[in-house]
Amino acid sequence: MDLIDRYRLNGSVPRAVRQPQTAEEVAEALREAARSGWAVVPWGSGAHQSIGYAPARYDLALDLTRLSRVLRHRPANLTIRVEAGIRLADLNAMLAEHDQWLPLDPPFGDQATIGGILATGLSGPLRARYGSARDLLIGLRVALADGTLIQGGGEVVKNVAGYDLPKLFHGALGTLGVIVEASFKLWPRPKAEATWAFSFSRAEDALPLTLSMLRHPGFPLAVEVLNARAWETLRGTLELPEDPGARIWVVVRAGGWPAQVERIGRDAVAAASEARGKDRLPEETASALWARMASVAILPTPAPTEALGVRLGLLPSQLTACAAALESTEEIPVIWRAHGTLGLIYAEGRGPMETLLRWAGELRSFTLAQGGHFTILGGLESAKRTLGLWAPLRPEVEVMRRIKAQLDPEGRLNPGRLGWA
């Protein structure tokens, strides 16, 4: 396969690929692109290139995976500064030696690079305890569209000097600048861990458990809710408990000192009074499960043709109503998963596009009526165009547009990714 084919995006290939090895080389590549008026798409692992609209123009693929160094780890300060192309998995393998970790577990986290995780703003189950990358990020170095290198934040855990630029670039889908370095606060690894799985006949039966975990002062590491179909996809390859009568599964991961872990488990079991099954998972099963969990109900890149992946942002208490809306059509086998204490729901439907569009359209109306937000995470470009990438579009978009115009006036970074930017 041609090198250039690895960077195919929605059917098109770039004119050129650059694989810079340093921040300065990234800046140089961007200056060169600026001279030619080229549109640039930054690349990490490529695992999430299907998020957002396909870029309207695509001349240069800027592959950052050779920027993969750890620049400074201060174990006694619990901070690290890395280059953006480093893979999360490699970073955490290195940190494990110090009993520390960057507690992020985004979808396809085994491949994902730090830069890609930051740009997409995707999070995983551990977010229940540690927040998202947004909360752990303390500094950034970014190459702007014209090749200027700038920095925001720093390598200290508290910092209010100037605007909080790291927040702006987090989740901006590479439309404002190319992240070349990032600093994070780290966490000590929990001394002990345990995982429980609960099965329920109905979503409303699961709610007391998820809501009690939300307000649990022991802060469970993760509280994931899955529908039966999602659970079955996992059970295909893992030795998980079985319950043919279950519609909903809740998986609780507790971490901390051993006594705390046991206490959280006891409370979870007590709150799951309506559960059909309650199982403490063997350690190996649990760790295999958590390695897979974040990618459940997230479509791979490139997305299969007869599939659509969406994300809903609601309140944790709205999960019951949402479960009903998600599975309202018999025609589409829906797989869904939620961060139970956060109200973020990921769903994947498969079937003929017309039916999928109807399903997604109804979900969008439902979510907006509940005061939440709706995003298409994966699927065909035509589906995104038909439904609109995200909703609601509020007047704040005008401000976002002005920011884009200030930082990338020629609109050459990932043009059109967000629709308006």
Partner 1 sequence: MKRAQALQELLEVFGPRGVLWEDHHLLLYEYDASIDKGRPDFVVLPTSTEEVVAAVRIANRYGLPVVVRGAGTGLSGGAVADQGGLMIVTTRMRRILEIDPVNLRAVVQPGVVNIAVSQAAAAHGLYFAPDPSSQKACTIGGNIAENSGGPHCLAYGVTTNHVLGLEVVLPDGEVIEVGGAACDWPGYDLTGLIVGSEGTLGIVTKAVLRLMPMPEAVVTLLAVFDTVDQASEAVSAIIADGTIPGAIEMMDHTAIQAVESAKRCGYPMDAGAVLLIDVEGLPEGLEDLARHIARICEHFDAREVRIATDPAERERLWSGRKGAFGAMGRLAPSYLVQDGVVPRDQLPRVLRQIQEIGRRYGLTIANVFHAGDGNLHPLILFDERDPELTRRAVEAGAEIIRACVEAGGTLTGEHGIGLEKRDLMPLLFSPVDLEVMARIKAAFNPENRLNPCKMFPSTRMCLETWSRRKARMEKPIRYRITPAPTDAEEELWI
320 sits near partner 1 (criterion: CB under 8 A): no
Examine residue 403 and tell whether it contacts partner 1 (CB under 8 A): yes
Site for partner 1 in 117-146 (CB under 8 A): 121, 123, 131-132, 134-135, 144
Residue closer to partner 1 by CB (options 5, 396) is 396
Among 159, 201, 233, 320, binds partner 1 (CB under 8 A): 159
70 CB contacts (<8 Å, ≥6 apart)? 80, 81, 82, 83, 86, 91, 94
Interface with partner 1, residue 381, by CB under 8 A: no
**Binding of partner 1 by 302 (CB under 8 A):** no
Min. distance of Cβ 14 from partner 1 in angstroms? Answer: 25
- Is residue 374 within 8 A of residue 314, CB to CB? The reply is no
Using CB under 8 A, count the residues that bind partner 1: 82
| CA pair distance 311, 184, nearest whole angstrom | 26
Which residue's CB is nearer to partner 1, number 4 or number 315?
315
Tell me the three state secondary structure of residue 320.
helix
Span 251-280, contacts to partner 1 by CB under 8 A = 256-260, 262-264
C-alpha closest to that of 240 among 224, 254, 256? 224
Q: Which is nearer to partner 1, 1 or 160 (CB)?
A: 160
**What are the φ/ψ torsions at residue 365 (nearest 5 degrees)?**
-60, -40
State yes or no: residue 206 binds partner 1 (CB under 8 A).
Answer: no
Helices (H), 45-113: 88-96
Answer yes or no whether residue 344 interacts with partner 1 by CB under 8 A: yes
Task: Yes or no: say if 297 and 335 are a contact pair by the CB < 8 Å rule.
Answer: yes
If one counts every other C-beta atom within 10 angstroms of the C-beta of residue 333, the result is: 12
Question: Phi and psi for 183 in degrees, rounded to 5?
Answer: -115, 145
Binding part of the chain for partner 1, among 236-244, 288-296, 348-356, 402-410 by CB under 8 A, reads: 402-410
If the CB atoms of residues 14 and 340 are measured against partner 1, the closer one turns out to be: 340
Q: Among 4-12, 60-68, 210-218, 278-286, which window interacts with partner 1 (CB under 8 A)? A: 210-218
The first and second tokens of residue 74, run together, are 């201060």
Of 60-79, binders to partner 1 (CB under 8 A) are 74-79
Q: Is 418 in the site for partner 1 (CB under 8 A)?
A: yes
Among 16, 157, 288, 291, binds partner 1 (CB under 8 A): 157
| 11-18: long-range pairs with CB below 8 Å, 24+ | 12/54, 12/58, 13/58, 14/41, 14/58, 14/59, 14/60, 14/61, 15/59, 15/60, 16/59, 16/60, 16/61, 17/60, 17/61, 17/63, 18/60, 18/61, 18/62, 18/63
- Is 99 a binding residue for partner 1 by CB under 8 A? The answer is yes
The only residue of 21, 68, 151, 233 in contact with partner 1, by rule CB under 8 A: 151
Between 151 and 329, name the residue whose CB sits nearer to partner 1: 151
Helix (H) or strand (E) holding 362: helix 353-369
State the binding string over 345-374 for partner 1 (x if CB under 8 A, else -): --------------------------xxx-
Should residue 160 be labelled a site residue for partner 1 when binding is judged by CB under 8 A? yes
Q: How far is the CB of 90 from partner 1 (least distance, A)?
A: 21
Reply yes or no: is the peptide bond before residue 392 cis, omega within 30 of 0.
yes
Out of 13, 168, 238, 321, the residue judged to bind partner 1 by CB under 8 A:
168
216 binds partner 1 (CB under 8 A): yes
CA separation (Å) from 175 to 49, 52, 288, 409, 418? 13, 11, 35, 11, 8
